[in-house]
Amino acid sequence: MKAAKTDEDKAAAFEKMIADGRRKRVVQGGAWYAIRTAPGSQKPQREYKVEPLLDDNGKPRGKKGYRIVPSLDPNRSAIERALQDNGFVYYMPSEKRLVRDRRHTDLWKVRRFALMVGYIFVREPHDWGKLLDTAGVSGVVQNADGAPLAITLIDIMAVRAAEASAEVEFDAQTRKARQKLRKNAKTDPRLKKLVEKLDIAGTITVPLDMVGQAA
């Protein structure tokens, strides 16, 4: 059985691709650039929203008249949000993984992770200074002359191929997890009752946008 690649292996493979590209690179139109990300910026960022508390007459209820509600979008990282807010078109290669549910340890949840930790792609940045000032951006991959290194379409397609491969692997893991869950439920009344209440298919199907378009 082929061993799964670690985040370090994937990052090393990308670094090698970049190094090979520095030797000879021809880019035609619509160039993408590799951006280095700050630690933790490729994870979802918890946000807090203020919601008013009103009574039946529309007047503030309670001492403050509002409450703070935490929210978290598991399908968009902090740096993706920051890039979109600043008007950049980005692409963060990602993969899905099964993570054990904390409340029901027999069940799994789908979580999205960066495929290449430490990197994200931005297409034709309209303002390099603004890009470097964007929260979560730690730098830009440069060529031998110190200029931003353009990534060829071939390289981008290679990354997308790696995403597709990760998706196939995830689907296989998902099928095995579902089969094991249903098998265990046959002999575990508690688990059987839990499974009957949950939409198992819904917990392992997560729509993901591969490319972020600036609003």
What pLDDT shows up at residue 207?
A: 29
Question: What is the Cα–Cα distance from 11 to 158, expressed in whole angstroms?
Answer: 14
Buried/exposed code over 10-32 (b: 16+ C-beta within 10 A; e: otherwise)? bbeebeebbeebeeeeebeeebb
Instruction: Tell me which amino acid residue 53 is.
Output: L
Q: Give the separation between CA 115 and CA 117, rounded to whole angstroms.
A: 6
In tens, the pLDDT along 150-169 reads: 988 888 888 999 999 999 99
Q: What residues of the chain score a pLDDT lower than 70?
A: 1-5, 7, 10-30, 197-215
SS3 state of residue 199 = coil
What per-residue confidence (pLDDT) applies to 215? 38
- As a whole number of angstroms, the distance between CA 33 and CA 77 comes to 19
pLDDT score for 138: 96
User: How far is residue 151 from each of residues 25, 65, 140, measured CA to CA in Å?
Assistant: 8, 52, 12
pLDDT of amino acid 3: 57
CB 14 within 8 A of CB 149: no
Q: Can you give the pTM of this predicted structure?
A: 0.70
Q: Which CATH architecture has domain 7-42+77-212?
A: 2-Layer Sandwich (3.30)
Instruction: Give alpha helix (H) positions in the chain.
Output: 7-23, 78-85, 128-132, 153-185, 189-197, 200-203
Spell out the domain ranges in the chain: 7-42+77-212, 45-74
Indicate the length of the chain as a whole number: 215
